[in-house]
Structure 1
Amino acid sequence: MFPYSKTGYDIWFKIRPFFRTVLRIEFEGVENIPLDKGCILAANHRSNLDPFVLNTVSPRPILFMAKQELFGVPLLGWFIKKAGAIPVKRNKRDIASLKKAVELIKDGHCIGIFPEGARAKPGEFRKPQSGVGLLVSKTEAPVVPIRIEGTDIVYPVGSKIPKIGKSKIYVKVGKPLTVDSNMEYSRISEYIMEEIKRL
């Protein structure tokens, strides 16, 4: 049983080239995303467009950890549930959501997470939270760093609709990282965030 709508993703994979063209998305390194095992995709975060963009370039479905408030938004809430998103209670350590993510990774799924926990200002990065470090430590799964640029121009904080065509969007996927799972969660998260910045 899939934790997402397989039919929905089958349709999505057929139509997503259209969105890549409209949003002017350029990408490289997607071959670094493992196809046959559970893994963690860790990306910087500057726009609500980021999860959508990553799912337009990934060779497999990404199940994102998303703030719980989004699940109550009409239509969007239904859509992200069908996409297999995991609700996360912000401003406190949500053990239940982390356990769910660990379970899905061990079952062979691809989990997407933004280590910063919230959107950063244009051109900046926030200090990472320890959640991604915990996932790496508990699963020892491959963690793939990803850097996204341009989404904060196309769909900045406070904007109601994307500004299509204002900027290209760039996605660079790095090679899976070798991480010492015995390190403290916070140190693992910091290491991953530094690798994202290097891309």
Structure 2
Amino acid sequence: MNLYNIGKVICTGILKPLYRVDVIGAENIPSHGGVLICSNHIDNLDPPIVGISAKRPIHFMAKEEIFRVPILKNLLPSLNAFPVKRGMSDKQALKTGLQILRDGKVLGLFPEGTRSKTGQLGKGLAGAGFFALRTNASVIPCAIIGPYKPFKSLKVVFGEAINFESIRAEKVSAEEATDIIMNSIQSLLEKYQ
């Protein structure tokens, strides 16, 4: 058993009962092939919560700063995390993300780039649209509906794949593609709140 699976078992055992995690739509994540999961971002626990809610291992971008913490620097890559420099176009992070999707794996993104202070969905960054347009990955919107309070229900909703074949054919920009993804996340938030 690798470290990701061990971490998933531990996180499931602690987080699922603590936050009464209710997973909806996990069957919408294809069982094989590249998948881009795009979620809203309300708490530092979002990556492990999304990770334990999906059947497949997820690779997450994480802010570069946490890779400077001595213990985390060696631990995070074993947990399928890779660094991204915030506030600028990080070519290495983009290349890594594209490779994950082209290798038929799952990439998890929080398009807002930072946690929402209000709980409302913010504007998405162009990176999500970039990955959606540059690969043939299935694009799955995800909504985390809190609050993160012990023994209160927390929902993780995976929506149906967005039909990006027709969107790619329209030659939209990365920003426009991200807006389409964000609208899908907003629809899930409104439907399941």
Taking the aligned partners of 2:62 and 2:153, their CA distance within structure 1 comes to 25
- 1:190 matches 2:179: yes
**Mapping of residues 17-166 of structure 1, within 5 Å:** 17-19=12-14, 20-150=16-146, 153-154=147-148, 164-165=150-151
- Unaligned segments of structure 2, at least 5 residues: 189-193
- Unaligned segments of structure 1, at least 5 residues: 1-5, 155-162
CA-to-partner distance for each residue in 1:115-173, whole Å, 9 max, x for gaps?
111111233111111001110111121110000011xx43xxxxxxxx533x3211111
Shift of residue 183 of structure 1?
Answer: 1.0
Determine the structure 2 residue equivalent to 1:3: none
Q: 1:13 to 1:91 in 2, by over 3 A?
A: closer
Amino acid at match of 2:154: I
The question of whether the paired residues in 2 share the 8 Å contact of 1:149 and 1:169 is answered with yes
SS of equivalent residue, structure 1 residue 135 = helix
Q: 1:13 to 1:50 in 2, by over 3 A?
A: closer
SS of equivalent residue, structure 2 residue 129 = helix
Amino acid at match of 1:120: S
The question of whether the paired residues in 2 share the 8 Å contact of 1:128 and 1:193 is answered with yes
- 1:9 matches 2:7: no
Amino acid at match of 1:10: N
With 76-85 and 129-138 compared, the bigger mean Cα shift is at 76-85
Taking the aligned partners of 2:80 and 2:5, their CA distance within structure 1 comes to 14
Instruction: Kindly report the root-mean-square deviation, in angstroms, between the aligned alpha carbons of the 2 structures.
Output: 1.6
CA-to-partner distance for each residue in 1:82-129, whole Å, 9 max, x for gaps?
112121001101111111110111011100001111111233111111
With 18-27 and 128-137 compared, the bigger mean Cα shift is at 18-27
Taking the aligned partners of 1:9 and 1:35, their CA distance within structure 2 comes to 18
SS of equivalent residue, structure 1 residue 75 = helix
Q: 1:74 to 1:169 in 2, by over 3 A?
A: farther
Amino acid at match of 2:180: Y
Taking the aligned partners of 2:159 and 2:75, their CA distance within structure 1 comes to 28
CA-to-partner distance for each residue in 1:22-67, whole Å, 9 max, x for gaps?
2211111001111210110000001111001011111011000111
Determine the structure 2 residue equivalent to 1:172: 157
TM-score, normalising length: structure 2: 0.88
Q: Kindly, what percent of the aligned residue pairs are identical?
A: 34
